[in-house]
Every structure is written in C-alpha cells, then in structure tokens.
Structure 1
C-alpha cells in the first residue's frame, strides 16, 4: 500500500472540506470537487474519513464546552467551528485557494460584451419585453447581452442559462439570437427556447419555425423538436414534449429516466450552494422525479429520502450525497 498517496489524498480531502465549509466556494469549485472525488476510490475514501472526523468532532467539543461551563469557565464563542478548523490545519486553509485556482484554472473574470445586459439570479425568473413585438421568459441564472443598431434592438446573445423567445406576428424586422458559435434566425409568429448550460446548447421550437445557422449549415427546427450542439458538432433534431422539457415555465422540474447526477446538476441551477454526489454508483442511478421550484430549499433531503442517499449538510447550502 502506497502510504504516500494515502497521505496526499487525505491532505487534499482536508483542503476540500475546509474550502467547502468556508462560505466562499463557487459552483465551479463544486464541479472540480466532484471530479476529484470520482477520479479515484482513494480520493472518495479519504474524503469519507475526513467527513466522519468532522462530524465526530462536533459532539465531542460540545461535551467539552459543557464540562468547562460547569467548572465555571465560560466556553469561547464559535469554539466548535474553530476547533474543527484547527483539526484540519491552518496551513491547509491558507493554501486551498491557490490549490483550487491553479489546479482547475477557474475563471475569476466577468462577462464580456457590449450593450445592455439582462440577468436573472439563481432561482429567479423574469418576463422581459426586449423590444416591441419580442418578449422573453428568462429562467434561473441567465445572462443575456442585448444587440442593438442605433436605437433598434436587433437580437441578443445568450451567454448562459436559458430563455423562451416569442416573436409577435407583427414583428417583421430581423431578430437574431446568438448562442455559442451559432445563430437562431427567427420568423414572425414563432416562439422557441434557447439554452446554454455546461457547454451544451439547445434550441427547442414551440410555434412556427426556427432556423439554426451553425458553421456553414442551416437546420430547420420545427414545433416540438429540439436540436443540440456542443464543441464536437451539431446533433440531429429530435422530438420532445415541450411541456416536459420546458416545465420550468410553470415552476416545475420534470426528469424522466435520467441519471441522478444529471438531475442534481440541473437542480443546482435553481438553488444557492451546491449539491455534490460523491458516489459514482448513486450518480449513475436512473430516476424519475418531479420537483417544484418551491421545494428547492428541501430538495437535498427529498433526494436523500427517495433514493436512500446519505446527506452531509455544510454551510452555504452545500450538501454532499453518498
């Protein structure tokens, strides 16, 4: 047994736990942590041991505080938190930010682009009239850069998130929606949804027709069809049920025979913090689920009860499922 690798895995596990409980962890950190856990059984085992020690410390320190209080010595404020930090090591705490940024290349910069910007926060949805005859339904965590020519809005660029675009029959001027390296060419009286999440972009047609211009090709997307593309290229238009695929418009999320890991990734867009699955088998389990957006605060507990997972709740809305 290579004890050097075991010690290194435990050091990294301690660094991750400090960072995840610091209140400063980002969504990108959550993805990096998930990849680290799933990259080897040694990593997952090391984190499980560290997590158990973290939880065991709480009751032990509480007993010590109670004993000290009975002896006439008041317990210091925040003693449990600071003693746990001391267990994990102040040197690890000081170096974890450098470890995360250097090891995973996280982008700490903002969005680029010109013109007005439309945004929704995590869990927020908005209806916006971007110009006369063009209305948007913006979903959670969406960032849109509006394109204008003079005083006329000619389209927008979907930087991240998703939105439904409705073009009134009376709006005959061109309106172009950009996403990644493609464009959606709309027609009067059409409505369609666009989405850019985790490197995958989709166009879902609701009414009328939408044309996706990608590279040198143009693909027609008809009502109840969805077309996806990513860095590897363009897929084929497939039939979808818009009521299921776009159920978020009614504040509902529906998942049909999808891996739990994919379900959790999508749910994370609607709630602060992060749910992270640290067990590969649990993440691969296919599930059927329906949640309302009003359940997002308790969704980790619902998953725990429904699928027999073990949940570790951390500060800032972070939950580890195993």
Structure 2
C-alpha cells in the first residue's frame, strides 16, 4: 500500500510540475484531467502536491514577517523535495529504494547488497572487476568469493573489499564502516586501511575523522533502528530523512551539533525527530514533504493560502 501511495504521489508531482512549466499546454492539461479522473486516491495525491506548492508560493496578501519560512520551503522543493532521489536517480541506478523501507538485493555476481531507504546504486561489473557506485543514501555489502576485486565508489571515494562486510554512506560527505574483514579506502590520494570495528568519515571540506564503532551497530537501519553514541543530531536527522518522503532541515547550527545517544526507531521518523530534538529544547514543524527543526518551532509564522 505504501508503495502504491508513493507511486501515485510521484505521478502527481510529475504531472503538476509539467503543468507549472507549460500551463497552456494542451497535452499537460489533458494528462492532469486523465489522472484526476482515475479516482479519489489520484485526486488526493494531486491536491496534496498542489497544497505544498501553494504553501511555498503564497500570494502577497498572506506574506507576513515569516519570509524565511517561505524561502526555506521553496528552496527545499526546488532542491528535490518533490522529486526525491528515487525520481532523480532511478533512471541511472540498477538497484534503488524509496522512503518506505530498506531492501536487500543480490548483485549479478552473487554479492549481497542491502540498501537503506531512499538509496540508489549503479552496477558496473565487467570481466575484471565488480564495481558499484553509491549514488545516494547508504548501503551495506557482504561480498562473496570471486577473483575480481569488489569496489564501491561514492563521492570520489573508492572502497575495496578484502573478505568483507561493510557499509558506505553518503551524508554530509562520505563514510565507510567495517563489520567484518578489511576495507581499503582511497580518496584524493589518501589511503586508509580499515578493520572490523573501524569507521572513517570524510567531510565535504576534506576533513577526515576516524573512530571505533561496535560492529553490531553498523547499518542498524537494516533492523529499522538508528543506534547513536554521542552522535550529532544532524547525523540522526540524516538517517531519519531517508525514511521521510521529503526533506528534514535543521535551522540552528548549535541544535544540529547537539549530541544524542540511544537506540531510536526509524518506523516513525517525525516522532523520533521530535523526541531527539526535544532532548535539547528543539521543536519540529512538519508539513507535506518538509520537516523543520528549530529551537522554538517558530520558523513557520506565515499563513498558507486556503
């Protein structure tokens, strides 16, 4: 059922945006009418998209001093809130997931791939190597015996498996954590040898942080959990973001850096986000396709149009 709703939502987004680009286009108008005529579920999905777009583009009479909220919402929509990684990357990927859940796949080589929600991988195997590119999100890999090297690329990093189970994640840079065996990671001429229980995170500015991590907690999202230990709230929000059909934005840098520890459920990302943010005095305002974490929840102080 969730997959059906997600597909309907994506169809509604595509039709709505086509009509926004070409409001006088007869083909676009006909596509909308045909979609709406299919039933109540389609009309509800389209109305939800229209409401979100209207909230991001309110008429002047509705604008008050809450202009930043409008800007955040508009930027979020344009940055891919409506489209999401599944719409932007599915045409490139061989394996992908939507926001509803993580899934496991078996590559053509027999290697196990476990993708977190809202993740995508492109397979580039040939006679000499098993190469996968992580386009979005996070993925856990368990390799099989094969004479060809097993390589994962993500944001300029290449991770080479050495009899391994490991995870690669793209979030505020790129990270590799090893559950079994060893991984050789290279990026921009730097080389890192990681063993079970070790993790590196390379931030967008090139800064590298190497930490120890309990192997049992690696890729806890496979069990629909996030296990954190003195972890920035922004990292937990990134894990929750992949389970949310939209985007999560933290407006305050101090709140984003606040440390959280515990075992959190990914089943209800907004409820978990409210719990974790509330520990540090933060509040969450949720709307279709967007959830905003702020110190007092006051970011949305405009009145959306009727």
**TM category, shorter:** 0.5 to 0.7
Q: TM-score, normalised by structure 2?
A: 0.62
Q: Please point out which of 231, 244, 249 is paired with 1:258.
A: 231
Q: TM-score, normalised by structure 1?
A: 0.59
Number of the residue aligned with 2:160: 185
**8 A Cα contact 2:137 2:171, kept in partner:** yes
**8 A Cα contact 1:162 1:195, kept in partner:** yes
Report the alpha carbon displacement of residue 234 of structure 1 after superposing the two structures with TM.
Answer: 6.4
Write out aligned runs for 1:16-165 (5 A).
87-89=61-63, 106=79, 110-111=88-89, 117-149=94-126, 154-165=130-141
Alignment of 1:270 with 2:243, yes or no, is yes
Report the alpha carbon displacement of residue 299 of structure 1 after superposing the two structures with TM.
Answer: 2.6
**8 A Cα contact 2:171 2:238, kept in partner:** no
Report the alpha carbon displacement of residue 243 of structure 1 after superposing the two structures with TM.
Answer: 2.6
How far, CA to CA, are the matches of 1:113 and 1:235 in structure 2? 32
Number of the residue aligned with 1:226: 199
Corresponding residue SS for 2:121: strand
Deviations 1:216-243 (A, max 9, x none): 3432211111122244436364321133
Number of the residue aligned with 2:151: 176
Q: CA, structure 1 residues 233+127, in 2 after alignment: closer, same or farther (shift >3 Å)?
A: same
**8 A Cα contact 2:167 2:218, kept in partner:** no
**8 A Cα contact 2:111 2:142, kept in partner:** yes
How many residue pairs get matched?
234
**8 A Cα contact 2:277 2:293, kept in partner:** no
Report the alpha carbon displacement of residue 307 of structure 1 after superposing the two structures with TM.
Answer: 4.5
Q: CA, structure 1 residues 294+86, in 2 after alignment: closer, same or farther (shift >3 Å)?
A: same
Choose between structure 1 and 2: higher helix proportion. Answer: 1
Number of the residue aligned with 2:272: 299
Alignment of 1:205 with 2:178, yes or no, is yes
Gaps of 5+ in 2: 1-11, 14-50, 297-306
**8 A Cα contact 2:241 2:269, kept in partner:** no
How far, CA to CA, are the matches of 1:273 and 1:106 in structure 2? 10
**8 A Cα contact 2:157 2:174, kept in partner:** no
Q: CA, structure 1 residues 272+148, in 2 after alignment: closer, same or farther (shift >3 Å)?
A: same
Report the alpha carbon displacement of residue 267 of structure 1 after superposing the two structures with TM.
Answer: 2.1
Q: What RMSD in Å do the two structures reach over aligned CA positions?
A: 4.0
Q: Which moved more, 1:254-263 or 1:296-305?
A: 296-305
Number of the residue aligned with 2:285: 312
Gaps of 5+ in 1: 1-22, 25-77
How far, CA to CA, are the matches of 2:88 and 2:259 in structure 1? 36
